[in-house]
Amino acid sequence: MSQTRYTKDHEWIRVDGDTATVGITAYAAEQLGDVVFVELPDIGKTVTQGGEMAVVESVKAASEVYAPVNGEVVEVNSELESAPETVNEAPDGAGWFVKLKLSDTSQLEGLMDEAAYKAHIG
C-alpha cells in the first residue's frame, strides 16, 4: 500500500515498503517552466533529510531538489537525461527523479499529506 507525502519545498515521496520514489510536484514543475536538464545523484549516494539530492534546470531557473527523508539512492530515472520534458508532462508519474532506500521511516510522519500540501500551495 503506497502513501504519498509532500515537503514544503514541493517534493513528493511515495513509499512502498522500505523504498520510496521521489519527484517534484506539478505545482513546482509549472513554476519552473520547461525543464531542459536534470542532474541526478550517483547510485549509492547517501542523502539526509533536507540535503541536496538533485538539480532541476529550466530555461529560466535552476533549483535544488532536496531529499525528503534520510536514505540511500538505489535507482535514478535515467529517462530524464534524454527526455527532461517528462518532468512537466508527468511530474507525479513518469517524471520521477530518484528511488531511495529509507533509513528512518518515522521521518515520513513529519511530512504533509495531500490535503495539507494543497493548503500549503494555496
Q: Which residues bind another protein (CB under 8 A)?
A: 37, 39, 57-62
Rounded least distance, CB 29 to another protein, Å: 16
Q: What does the alpha-carbon distance between residue 15 and residue 12 come to, in Å, rounded to a whole number?
A: 10
Nearest to another protein of 7, 58 (CB atom): 58
Nearest to another protein of 39, 92 (CB atom): 39
Rounded least distance, CB 64 to another protein, Å: 8
Strand ranges (DSSP E) for the chain? 3-6, 11-16, 19-24, 35-39, 46-47, 52-58, 62-66, 71-76, 98-102
Nearest to another protein of 57, 72 (CB atom): 57
